[in-house]
Structure 1
Amino acid sequence: MRVDRLRLLNFKCYGEAELGLERGVTIVHGVNGSGKSTLLEATFFALYGSKALDDRTLDDVITTGEEETEVELRFTHDGREYRVERHLKLRGDRATTTKCVLETPGETIEGARDVRREVTELLRMDAEAFVNCAYVRQGEVNKLIHASPSDRQDMIDDLLQLGALEDYRERASDARLGVKTVLDGQREVLENVRQQVEQKEDKELHERLNGLETRRADVAEEIENYEAQREQARNTLETAEDVLERHEETREEIETLETEIDDLRSKIEATEREREDAKAEIRDLEERREELAAERDELLADVELDPGADGGDDAVEERIRELEARDEDLRDDLEEVRVSITETSGEIERLREEADDLESQAVDAREEADELEATLETDEEAIEDREADLEDLEEQIETAREQFDSGEASPTPREGGETADAPVEFGEATAHFESLETDREELTDEIGDITADIRTVENAIEEGEALLEEGKCPECGQPVEDSPHVDVLAEKREELADLEDRLERLEDDRDDLDERIERAEELREAERRVDRLEENRDNIETLVAEKRETLENRREQRDRLREDAEQYETDAEENRARAADLDREVDDIRSELGSINTERGEIKDDLESLRRVAEIDVERADLATDVENLRERRRDWQTMNDERRETLSSKRERKRELESEFDEERIETARTDRQNAENYLEKVDAKLEDLEAKRTNLQNAIGAVERELEELEERREELEALEERCERLDSLYDEAETLQATYADLRAELRQRNVETLERLLNETFELVYQNDSYAAIDLDGQYRLTVYQKDGEALEPEQLSGGERALFNLSLRCAIYRLLAEGVKGTAPLPPLILDEPTVFLDSGHVTQLVSLIESMRDLGVEQIVVVSHDEELVGAADSIVRVEKDATSNRSRLESGEPPEIALLTSD
């Protein structure tokens, strides 16, 4: 596996960052706290998500002050390209995953759990195995050394896939016990089924079945005989009921005829009464027609029309049309008069309102002219004040510029011939101030680095003095006797004195630079003040010019308003005179309106009389129609009664015929036959029910015997299947027991083989690091216990080594494990990059050189990608490429800079 590119957005100390990694050795370099290790943590997090955070939570990786973060990792594995992307977002106090995607050559996988599962299968290791094999995190360099033999065994077995064999062995053991449990249960079932078969065979089921079927045939024959006799009785019953039914129908028809005869008599009588009532109603209608004729004559006389003239109805209609036409003309005249009155009144109102508006506008114009007169006086005074302000600003600008012309910024001599300040021209003060600020930032960084070096040396001196008091070497921790490193404290103290002197000189330079910055800031403020004053001067000059122009415009506007006021008053007087003339016209029109309304009233009375005449004519015609209708109905009723009398005669004749058909003797015989048949049917049904119940019981008994025979056959088949299953379970139990032993033997054999290979690789790696040194070899037993042998044969526990040697020993062990995995458990395994995070924490200068040798040896052995995070300059010489990490002091954000490493000779020189 090879990491190709890492992209971050708001991840811990990074805002936006993108890092590309090549093959070979890459050194991520920068001062402590700059964010180097964060790049490795981001890579680990991209692969394994929350499992890479130890005891931290998701919200810990989001940059402080931000709401969300993004991590994208592109890598190549086994020659194929992959991309994993994770997005987090704060929701309240907790962060949640909003996107988690792994793009593979064949599919896209979504969801944090599914992505982590796929990465684990792809790399053949989970997050814990990753940090035990390829990722040596900061502060965990001695993790394998400090682990107990059993923990170390579990770690290495998991990496070498041996833990899976133990899982398989345990599964085989569980399977063996499970097969034993199932086998015992099946044997109990087998014995139970065998007993059931024997019990059913003792019942002689076939003999019982034959006897039951014989008895069922006898009962069926008896049922057939009774059913034949019941059918004959039913035929007799149907014949008797048919005779009785016809008798009943005849009797019912006679009763119906009697009812219909009575009904016809009642209807004839009712119809005759209705004919008499209609005759009386006709007389009343004729009298009403006569009364309406008299009323008509009176109305015609009122409107001066002759009732007896030819074409009387047409004359009425003609007179109505004439009156309606005259009324329509008068209504039009009336509407015109009303419209004229309304329009004239509206015009009068408009003229008067317009006169009021004109008088109001005249008042407003005179008031606005007076206000402008007062404003003109105020503007003239304001112009005089602004001109005085311009003179004051000119004096202030001249005073501020004199600071640059008076020689106040004369140089001050400094140590080494430098000057503390230099005169600047107007306009250069800001650039001068920023240049001094940059010098001070560089000086502050240098002071910070020296202060950190002083603390490091002071800590080393304190630790060395404490070791000397215990009688141990301050450099390697071994007994002082015969140690070649006892003079290291003197060197450290000299180094501390030099660093303190240099710090004092730098602090003096910083104080002097602060004074220069203060003076430069004063000049910059003076320059800015001149700019503000000049801007104010230009603004006031513009304002004065605008004021003068406005003053003339206001004088013209004042004169124009006074002229407008006089015109408004003249127009108002004219409108009021016109409104008085129109008032007199309206009075004349109103007198004409009265005469029109009087004539329309007379026409209305005549029209009401004529319309009543028309209504009377219609009403008399309707009455004549009603009389004719009643006479027609009387004729219809007469015809209807004649038809009813004919029907009544025919029904009386039919009743007499039916009464002559009654035969009492035949009816009595039919009743006797029906009674006898019903009695027999009642008895035979009860007998048949008993026989049917008996046959049903026999059938149920036969079914039960047949079911028992089926169950007997099923138990025999089940017994045969159980015997075969028990034989297979016996064989499976033996196979599981053999498989359990095989997995245990295979694990022991593979562990011993891997221990021998790991011991060989560890010694090879250790020899590369400790060439011509005091250690001879390393022993690794089957329980993963480690022993270091010196040249003289003395055995040491790894914990007895010095801090630097112990760290370097552990790195050698981790590299050896990595080489073993590279050779592969399942063939060649495409392992992830070898990642070392601050491996020099416990190493002095000599051990760092050995670490460089270890890194170069791993690269020579074919490790495709090695990533080392360190602030140590000496490691840079082993790099194929270098990534520098810096932190912005203002924003507290880290940034990256990639490049080629410098020459080794330059890195190792003072």
Structure 2
Amino acid sequence: MIPVELRLQNFMAYKTPQTLSFADIHLACLTGENGAGKSTLLDAITWALWGKARTRLDDDLIHLGESEMEVAFTFALGGETYRVLRRRIAGKRGRSELHFHAFLPAANDWRTLTESGIRQTQDKINRLLRLDYDTFINSAFLLQGRADEFTNKRPAERKQILGDILGLGIYDEYEERAAEKTRLLGQEIRILEAQIEQMEGEMANEAAYRTEWEEAQNRAADLHKALRAAETTLADLRQRHKELDIKQRQLDDLQTRLRQAQTDLDDLTAAIAQIEKRIAGYRAVIARAGDIETGYANLQRAQAELEDWNQRLAQSAGLRNEVHRLETAIQHARAALEADLKVKQARLKDLQAKAEGLDKFRANVARLQAEQARLQAQEAERDRLREEQQTLATEAARLTEENKQHRAEMDKIRARLDQLEAAGSTCPVCAQPLSDEHRATVRRQFTAEGTAHGDAYRANEARLQEIQAEQKRLTAAIRQAERTLKQLPALQRQLAQAEHTLQEAEDAAARIAALQAERDALQKRLDEADFAPQERAELARLQAELAQVGYDADAHAAARTAVADLTPYADEYRRLEDARTRLSEEEARRTQEEARRQRLLAQTETDRATVAALTAETAALPQLTAELTAASTRLDDLQRQERLARDAVAAARQKLDHLAYLAKERGKKEAALAELKETREIYTELRAAFGKRGVQALLIEHAIPELEQEANHILTRMTDGRVNLQFITQRATRTTGSPIETLDIRIADELGTRNYDLYSGGEAFRINFAIRIALSKLLARRAGASLQTLVIDEGFGTQDAQGRERLVEAINAIQSDFEKIIVITHLDELQDAFPVRIHVRKTEAGSVISVD
């Protein structure tokens, strides 16, 4: 993975958008004061690729005071270019975004590789890189103080460190899991052994269970015979009881029918009496037929006269309602004209009031317009002063920056003059032999350059003082203008209101004459009753028609009285007609009911005789019911005993069946026990295999030659082939001579072979550095990736001048092995040792990045 570009915003120390291009960088130093954000750039890369950095929470990475951050990292891998963009929005329900793209050169555009979710997209990135976060930071980052961590440990501890670097700690976890599985299998084995022992104890009771089953079968057979005899006896009793019960129901039915017959006889007697009463009433009404018919004829004549007066009243009422409606409409028309007249009179009065102040309104508008023009002229002057002030501020900033450069150049010249004075026979500037004449020439050149910078510096300072004085004058003038211009908004509002008032007054003066004409026209119509002409004509016609109807209220009232007096004859006439129709019907019904009563009396006598016979036959029913109940109770008891006996047989049979089941289950559990014991042996062997002396030892033995070869490859280039190393994994003990595990480092050079502990200074540092680089490459290869980028933070500040030179030499020696090497330092004197310098600088707007 080769970095191409890093772009970040609101990420830790970086607030404004910053872009770092790696396109022209092969070997570079990353410089800046402590806390400026050098390591933050590396955090940005790991957070973009894996969502991980030095902090635990993503929201802690957001620049203070901001609510979201974004990092975009572009990298090359396998001849392709990819871009990862990760964004975080803070809050109670914070939201994260992850986008993954690949560059298409043919289309000069990006193709999305983003999956449906963040986790799926992250998995795709991990599969492409073939590196996780931990492997990357342990291989691509050489952190401060870590280069000699491996070599300075005791031989017994080096294998542990190598194991940690190779990620062998997972096998410790496997060993613990195998041990836990062995323990759990032991528990299952003990449970199965106890279950098998319990089964064997229960199977010893088979003979007793079989005897119990046979005895239960014999008792069930005896109870079955007794139950069959009891069922026969009960069936005979039930048949006899059924026959008597039928006769008892017949007796009950006859007694009920006799009671109902008596009730019917009583009802028939009462009904016949009511029929005779109605016949007498009908005959009395028929006797008054002549008087009733005369009164009914008089009622019909009175009703006809009343109907005539009702019709006249209806016609008169309709006409009066219409007259009232027309009178109301005429009144409304007059009221509408009067209301319109009042509105126009009020409007005319309002317009006359507005038009009276027309001259005063025009004078006020002219005065406010003049005042506005004066303030607008002052506003334009203030804007001109501001532009002049801004021009001076730009010039001051330029002169200040120039003076910083002049000051820096003068400091450099002063330092070089000091070096020149302290130099011996070699010029510190051009590295040529330093004679007195050459020293004087160089001194004059430096002095002339310093004087030129000093003159320019002083001229700029003088101009800055002039600008400062002019700035003060301009500031005072602008403040005075702004105090005056505070009146402008209020004045503009007054002018707008005055113009509006003037316009209203002019409009009112123009409308007065027309409104007066409208008012006079309305007054004339009211005076001449010139309104509702159609309603007035219709009203006259209706009043004439109402006179022709001729309605008389007194005559109408007399007709109502006559009808009310004769109305009772209507009911009497209906009763007369009903009596004539119903008399013959009631007489026929009386004859029928009397015949029915006689038939009912004869049937009652027959039923009483039958009741007496059935009463004698059912006298033995209570005794038979008692015998039936006793027989049924005995049968129930025998059925219960037989059921219990069958349950006892089933329980004994179940015990025997359970023993047969236990015999089969014992065989299954014995087979399962054997399988568990075999599995436990496997996990016991796995526990040993995953231990320190198993797979871990084999992997370390396999990795050591690879580590040794890579370290020697780097050492050969760093020492011109003078030094190589060898890892010794076993050595004999001093006492017994038997081999023991170790990890000694033997170094060979032109003086012979020695232990690492006998080396010091630059040689030891080169050995440390070569082993650390080899370990990084080994870790990356084990993850299936190629280590193409290296970041070194080895703390130049803790090295003396010679140590720093050695580290730079070591980096130069390995630079061909990597596409990108970035060295982090905050020492300015080391910047010239690297062809490219990445500067990180703190500002009020956050840290900024520059490259030179």
Where on the TM-score scale, by shorter chain, does this alignment land: which range?
0.7 to 0.9
1:480 is aligned to: none
Q: After alignment, is 551-560 or 621-630 more displaced?
A: 551-560
SS at structure 2 position matched to 1:172: helix
Aligned AA (2:228): E
Q: C-alpha offsets along residues 566-586 of structure 1, whole Å, 9 cap, x if unaligned? A: 897798778767756659999
Aligned AA (1:38): T
SS at structure 2 position matched to 1:241: helix
1:671 is aligned to: 619
Aligned AA (2:244): A
1:358 is aligned to: 348
Cα distance change on mapping 1:317 and 1:813 into 2, 3 Å:
same
SS at structure 2 position matched to 1:755: helix
Asked if 1:186 is matched to 2:184, the reply is: no
Check conservation: 1:175, 1:736, Cα contact below 8 A.
Answer: yes
Check conservation: 1:23, 1:865, Cα contact below 8 A.
Answer: no
SS at structure 2 position matched to 1:8: strand
Select which of 198, 205, 211 maps to 1:200. Answer: 205
Q: C-alpha offsets along residues 328-354 of structure 1, whole Å, 9 cap, x if unaligned? A: 445545544443344335434544554
2:10 is aligned to: 10
Check conservation: 2:295, 2:569, Cα contact below 8 A.
Answer: no
1:748 is aligned to: 697
Select which of 766, 769, 781 maps to 2:718. Answer: 769
Cα distance change on mapping 1:128 and 1:352 into 2, 3 Å:
closer
Asked if 1:712 is matched to 2:659, the reply is: yes
2:231 is aligned to: 227
Q: Structure 2 matches for 1:712-861, cutoff 5 A?
A: 712-743=659-690, 744-771=693-720, 810-822=768-780, 824-825=781-782, 828-831=784-787, 833-837=789-793, 840-842=796-798, 850-851=806-807, 854-855=810-811, 857-858=813-814, 860-861=816-817
Q: Distance in 1 between matches of 2:671 and 2:133?
A: 48
Asked if 1:344 is matched to 2:292, the reply is: no
1:474 is aligned to: none
2:265 is aligned to: 261
Select which of 132, 157, 165 maps to 2:163. Answer: 157
Select which of 891, 901, 905 maps to 2:845. Answer: 891
1:68 is aligned to: 68
Check conservation: 2:50, 2:122, Cα contact below 8 A.
Answer: yes
Check conservation: 1:429, 1:520, Cα contact below 8 A.
Answer: no
Q: Distance in 2 between matches of 1:553 and 1:686?
A: 116
Percent identity between matched residues is 17
Aligned AA (1:732): T
Give the gaps of 5 or more residues in structure 1: 298-306, 402-426, 459-497, 536-550, 902-910
Q: Distance in 1 between matches of 2:30 and 2:2?
A: 20
Asked if 1:243 is matched to 2:221, the reply is: no
Q: Distance in 2 between matches of 1:556 and 1:694?
A: 120
Q: Structure 2 matches for 1:671-710, cutoff 5 A?
A: 671-672=619-620, 674-675=621-622, 677-710=624-657
Q: C-alpha offsets along residues 350-383 of structure 1, whole Å, 9 cap, x if unaligned? A: 4455445435543443x224634xx53x678789
1:91 is aligned to: 91
Q: Distance in 1 between matches of 2:649 and 2:848?
A: 95
Q: C-alpha offsets along residues 780-829 of structure 1, whole Å, 9 cap, x if unaligned? A: 76666778889767979889956x8887665433211023235x448x54
Aligned AA (1:193): M
Q: C-alpha offsets along residues 237-273 of structure 1, whole Å, 9 cap, x if unaligned? A: 1112222322332232222211111111112223443
**Offset of 1:848 from its aligned partner?**
5.6
Check conservation: 1:173, 1:737, Cα contact below 8 A.
Answer: yes
Q: Distance in 2 between matches of 1:844 and 1:850?
A: 10
Q: After alignment, is 732-741 or 507-516 more displaced?
A: 507-516
Q: Distance in 2 between matches of 1:8 and 1:564?
A: 71
2:115 is aligned to: 108
SS at structure 2 position matched to 1:15: coil
SS at structure 2 position matched to 1:27: strand
Q: Distance in 1 between matches of 2:185 and 2:260?
A: 94
Aligned AA (1:821): L
SS at structure 2 position matched to 1:678: helix
SS at structure 1 position matched to 2:60: helix
SS at structure 2 position matched to 1:174: helix
**Offset of 1:711 from its aligned partner?**
2.0
**Offset of 1:232 from its aligned partner?**
1.6
Q: C-alpha offsets along residues 43-68 of structure 1, whole Å, 9 cap, x if unaligned? A: 11233434x225x6433321233211
Q: After alignment, is 841-850 or 690-699 more displaced?
A: 841-850
Q: After alignment, is 141-150 or 323-332 more displaced?
A: 141-150
SS at structure 2 position matched to 1:91: coil
1:53 is aligned to: 54
SS at structure 1 position matched to 2:694: helix
Q: Distance in 1 between matches of 2:347 and 2:682?
A: 119
SS at structure 1 position matched to 2:17: strand
SS at structure 1 position matched to 2:70: strand
SS at structure 1 position matched to 2:65: coil
**Offset of 1:15 from its aligned partner?**
3.0
1:27 is aligned to: 28
Cα distance change on mapping 1:572 and 1:794 into 2, 3 Å:
same
Q: Distance in 2 between matches of 1:97 and 1:152?
A: 44
1:477 is aligned to: none
Check conservation: 1:358, 1:571, Cα contact below 8 A.
Answer: no
RMSD: 6.0
Cα distance change on mapping 1:195 and 1:561 into 2, 3 Å:
closer
Check conservation: 1:2, 1:865, Cα contact below 8 A.
Answer: yes
Check conservation: 1:788, 1:798, Cα contact below 8 A.
Answer: no
**Offset of 1:42 from its aligned partner?**
0.7
Asked if 1:651 is matched to 2:600, the reply is: yes
Q: C-alpha offsets along residues 216-247 of structure 1, whole Å, 9 cap, x if unaligned? A: 22321222122122212211111122223223
Check conservation: 1:834, 1:866, Cα contact below 8 A.
Answer: yes
Asked if 1:44 is matched to 2:42, the reply is: no
Check conservation: 1:69, 1:87, Cα contact below 8 A.
Answer: yes
2:178 is aligned to: 172
Q: Distance in 1 between matches of 2:695 and 2:598?
A: 126
Aligned AA (1:217): A
SS at structure 2 position matched to 1:232: helix
2:394 is aligned to: 434
Aligned AA (1:708): K
**TM-score, with length taken from structure 2:** 0.72
Check conservation: 2:319, 2:542, Cα contact below 8 A.
Answer: no
**Offset of 1:130 from its aligned partner?**
3.2
Check conservation: 1:43, 1:73, Cα contact below 8 A.
Answer: yes
How many residue pairs are counted as aligned between the two chains? 785
Check conservation: 1:15, 1:63, Cα contact below 8 A.
Answer: no
**TM-score, with length taken from structure 1:** 0.68
Check conservation: 2:351, 2:509, Cα contact below 8 A.
Answer: no
Cα distance change on mapping 1:6 and 1:361 into 2, 3 Å:
closer
Aligned AA (1:434): T
Q: Distance in 2 between matches of 1:878 and 1:721?
A: 77
Q: Distance in 2 between matches of 1:360 and 1:684?
A: 120
Aligned AA (1:362): Q
Cα distance change on mapping 1:553 and 1:321 into 2, 3 Å:
closer
2:360 is aligned to: 371
Aligned AA (1:653): A
Aligned AA (1:253): R
SS at structure 2 position matched to 1:819: helix
Aligned AA (2:201): Q
